[in-house]
C-alpha cells in the first residue's frame, strides 16, 4: 500500500518544448561553427572600411611607416621577384585556378562537372563585382605614384590582387579537398590537403605583400582584401558544395 496522500510514481517525461529547443541548438551548432569565421572577418572588414571612410582615405601612421619602409628597402633581385609574383594574382591565372577547382571537385556526368566549373568561375566573377562596388564606394587614393614600382589603376581599397588571389587560393583548396577526401586514405589525405593549403596560402599572402612592397597599396587595403575573400569563401561554401555534387550530406560535412 502507498502512504496516505501519495499517488503512483510516474516516469519522468521530457518536456516537448525543451526537447525541441535542444534539437534546434544541436542542429544550429554546425552552422554557427561554419559561419563564425565569416562573421568575425565581416566585423573586422567593417571596422577597416569605417576607418577609411572617417579618415577620407588618409593612411594611418602604421600604414605610412610600412609603406616608407617597403619603398626604402626595395632592391634586386627581390623587386623582380615581387613583380613576377604580383602578376600571378590577377588576370587569367586566378580564373584558371577556379576552372581547375571545378574540374577537381565535379563528380558524376560531364554535365555535372561542367556545372561545377561554371559555378566556381561564376563565384569568382561575382566576388569581383562586389570588390569593385566597395572600391568605387570608398574611392580610397593609392600611395603617391612616385613610389610605384609597377603600373596600377583604380582606387586602393580593397586591394584587387589580394582579394582575387585569396579567393582563387580558397576555391582551389576546396576543389583539392573535394577530390582527395573520397579517394585516399585518411592519413594521406590529411597530409596532402595540408600541404596544398599551405602552398596556396603562402602564394596568396605573398601576392598581397607584394602590393605593399611595390608601393601601390597601403597595408590596410591588402588586409581588407584578405578579410573580404575569407568572408565570401565562408558564406559560399554550401553553394559550392551543391554545384559539385548536388545536395549531399557528405559534401556539407566536408565543408565544416
Residue 48 belongs to a domain = yes
What is the rounded distance in angstroms from the CA atom of residue 13 to the CA atom of residue 10? 9
Mean pLDDT of 107-136: 91
Q: Average pLDDT for residues 215-241, to the nearest whole number?
A: 88
Within a domain: 8: no
Collect contacts of 92-97 with beta carbons under 8 A, ≥24 apart. 93/168, 94/124, 94/164, 94/165, 94/167, 94/168, 95/121, 95/124, 95/168, 97/168, 97/169, 97/171, 97/172
Per-residue pLDDT, 35: 74
The number of domains in the chain is: 1
| Exposure of 83 in the CB half-sphere (CA atoms within 13 A) | 11
54-108 pLDDT, tens digit each: 999 999 999 999 999 999 999 889 999 999 999 999 999 999 999 999 998 887 7
At 189-203, the pLDDT tens digits run 578 778 889 999 999
Is 24 part of a structural domain of the chain? yes
Instruction: Residue 76: give the domain boundaries.
Output: 17-254
* Residue 118 within any structural domain of the chain: yes
Residue 216 falls inside a structural domain:
yes
What pLDDT sits at residue 187? 55
Nearest to 183 by CA among 104, 255, 118, 249: 104
Least confident of 11-25, 36-50, 135-149: 11-25
Q: 58-72, 121-135, 166-180: which range is least confident on average? A: 166-180
In a domain, 161, yes or no: yes
Interval 37-58 mean pLDDT: 93
Say which CATH number the domain at 70 has: 1.20.144
Q: What is the pTM of this model?
A: 0.79
Residue 160 has pLDDT above 80, yes or no: yes
Task: Give the pLDDT score at 16.
Answer: 54
- Kindly give, in sequence order, each residue whose CB lies less than 8 Å from that of residue 115, ignoring residues fewer than 6 positions away: 106, 243
End-to-end Cα distance, the chain:
58
Q: Is residue 9 part of a domain?
A: no
Residue 12 lies in a domain: no
Amino acid at each position: 500500500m502507498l502512504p496516505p496522500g501519495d499517488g503512483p510514481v510516474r516516469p519522468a517525461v521530457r518536456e516537448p518544448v525543451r526537447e525541441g529547443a535542444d534539437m534546434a541548438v544541436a542542429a544550429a551548432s554546425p552552422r554557427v561553427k561554419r559561419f563564425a569565421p565569416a562573421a568575425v572577418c565581416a566585423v573586422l572588414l567593417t571596422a577597416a572600411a569605417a576607418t577609411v571612410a572617417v579618415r577620407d582615405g588618409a593612411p594611418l601612421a602604421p600604414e605610412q611607416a610600412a609603406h616608407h619602409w617597403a619603398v626604402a628597402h626595395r632592391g634586386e633581385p627581390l623587386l623582380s621577384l615581387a613583380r613576377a609574383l604580383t602578376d600571378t594574382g590577377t588576370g587569367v591565372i586566378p580564373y584558371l585556378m577556379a576552372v581547375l577547382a571545378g574540374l577537381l571537385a565535379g563528380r558524376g556526368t560531364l554535365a555535372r562537372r561542367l556545372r561545377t566549373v561554371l559555378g566556381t568561375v561564376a563565384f569568382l566573377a561575382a566576388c569581383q563585382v562586389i570588390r569593385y562596388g566597395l572600391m568605387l564606394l570608398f574611392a580610397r587614393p593609392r600611395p603617391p605614384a612616385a613610389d610605384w614600382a609597377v603600373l596600377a589603376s583604380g582606387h586602393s581599397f580593397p586591394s584587387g590582387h589580394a582579394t582575387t588571389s585569396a579567393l582563387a587560393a580558397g576555391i582551389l583548396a576546396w576543389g583539392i579537398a573535394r577530390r582527395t577526401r573520397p579517394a585516399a586514405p585518411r592519413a594521406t589525405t590529411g597530409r596532402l590537403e595540408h600541404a596544398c593549403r599551405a602552398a596556396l596560402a603562402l602564394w596568396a599572402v605573398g601576392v598581397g605583400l607584394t602590393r605593399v612592397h611595390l608601393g601601390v597599396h597601403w597595408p590596410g587595403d591588402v588586409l581588407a582584401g584578405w578579410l573580404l575573400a575569407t568572408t565570401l569563401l565562408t558564406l559560399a561554401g554550401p553553394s559550392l558544395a551543391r554545384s559539385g555534387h548536388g545536395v549531399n550530406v557528405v559534401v556539407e560535412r566536408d565543408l565544416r
